[in-house]
Structure 1
Amino acid sequence: MRAVQITEFGGPEVLNVSEVEEPKPGDGQVLIHVDRAGINYADTHQVENSYLQRATLPMIPGGEVVGRTEDGRRVVALVGSGGYAEKAVAHAAYAFDLPDEVSDGDALAIVLQGTTAWHLLKTSTHLQAGESVLVHAGAGGVGSLAIQLAKRWGAGRVIATASSDEKRQKTLELGADVAIDGNPEGLKDRIIEANGGKPIDIVLEMVGGPTFDESFDALGRFGRLVTFGSASRENAKPIETSRLMKGSKSVIGFWLADCFTTPSLLADPVAELLDLTAKGELKPLVGGEYGMSEVAKAHLDLRERRSVGKLVLDPSR
């Protein structure tokens, strides 16, 4: 079968389409004929071996797929790796039946970015009605869904950052109250100004480096910052415990992989989000579809911040 297999770590240039052996499902697993696979920013880290979990070679990237099982079920599945291929294997507990009303692209956005946004707001930061929320990269896969969910769950004010006027306009269309430039220089002051002169209650942060630092400095009393990525590939400055104590602030980490040991931590959010999407009450943002032969361009577009929403890979071309 055709798959994107890497045999050395690096940038987009190491992504090559190859002929490889078909995967074989083990006990408790299902084989999926892939119609579409999801492309994530985390994949760019995995390909260069800079992600939280070290990779081994050779490797087929891709953490989620939509397709048909051998018995004809249409499912969206979290596969961990191996998704950039014509066939993939998933544990049965992480292959979810899809309503006809949910498109392939929407399903791929929901199963990874949607569940991440769900947990950031509910599990990690415990969003309360009336609280202000800052969503970094608001036009991205997680951010575009987090904006909608925060408004749905009663956030008092949702502020989004984005890197261009076009992306900032998109966040406003998704429901953000204010959209600001995400450039870290002077970011703290822009956040507070966008929040009516008040420090922020909750920050969803996945950039790292000075963006993290400025965002933390914008937190108010009992404010919570949850970090779930490092798109800048820079580390934030160390935070002294006294800075956490003053203002009773919290810094929280989140990694979706930590939910895999408890199937309900994924199944419950997926069911809720798919239902909302099927009813038209949640609108995932699908930003583009790439053929398998265009995978290097997809990764470059992600790294250069040229994309919006969820990116999708078509293994048939």
Structure 2
Amino acid sequence: MGMHKTVRVAVPATTANMGPGFDCLGMALNLYNEIYMSISGDKLSIEVEGEGAMDISRDEQNIVYRAARRVYAELGQPVPGLTIKLVNKIPTSRGLGSSAAAIVGGLTAANRLTGERLSQERLLELATELEGHPDNVAPALLGGIVISVLQDSKVHYLRIDPPAGLNTVVAIPDFPLSTRAAREVLPQRVSLQEAVFNLSRAALLVGALCEKRLDLLQVAGQDVLHQPHRANLVPGMKEVMAAARQAGALNVTLSGAGPTVIALTCGAEEAVAASMQHSFKQAGVNCHTKVLIPTIDGAQIIWFN
């Protein structure tokens, strides 16, 4: 027997919600987790480098492994031993889609190892099933900006290319925030007025992105459904958002469930980054900033040999 083939997959970070598009809008960013996967006898071996290396499990609980196992189950095949190496650049529990990247990466890698028998649509459904909602997994798999609607376990989606010239600045605090904790602070009921506030802005946001009307992003990016309730979980959030706008950001929101704050920009990135860092520091929070570019590519198979 010759050596088993190894597949190498890169999956982008994603930012969900983009303000008003709660649980339905997400965008891929050029920060990647890489997954190397090969079949190896009957033992599971997992190695992790980079972000999350201290806390990512290396046994059958590992999310990448669980996603791979789901592909084998779908194909009705026994799960072989797998050797998995993760090289992570996406910080964990920060609102940048690290779990979505792990799920999409595991599915994509295992699908390649088994002969690419599952369609992208099916992979998206499996990813959504594993993650619980499609807002991050859809752009992680498909790239670009994706609007997703989950109905009866089917994901109906529309993918759009990010407007040219649109950049982002992320301020990533050095503390984690679990998505579950960030969800628990949200009210189960909202007023009609709040519902209209968000849906009018979500509609305007999608239109503005399609028509490349960056001037509309400020108004279109507002939200009352989730951000105000999460402000207490992220010290300095409101001040950081105000500071970034002051420094020239087009729009500023929480990335996913937070605590990362993301500014959409078209120029002035350095000033926006400095203002966000300074503002977080005044609230007693250390953070690091990155300029990330929206990417049209989702999960990519880099090589298979």
TM-score where L is the length of structure 2: 0.30
Ranked by relative contact order (alpha carbons within 8 Å, sequence separation 6 or more), the top structure is: 2
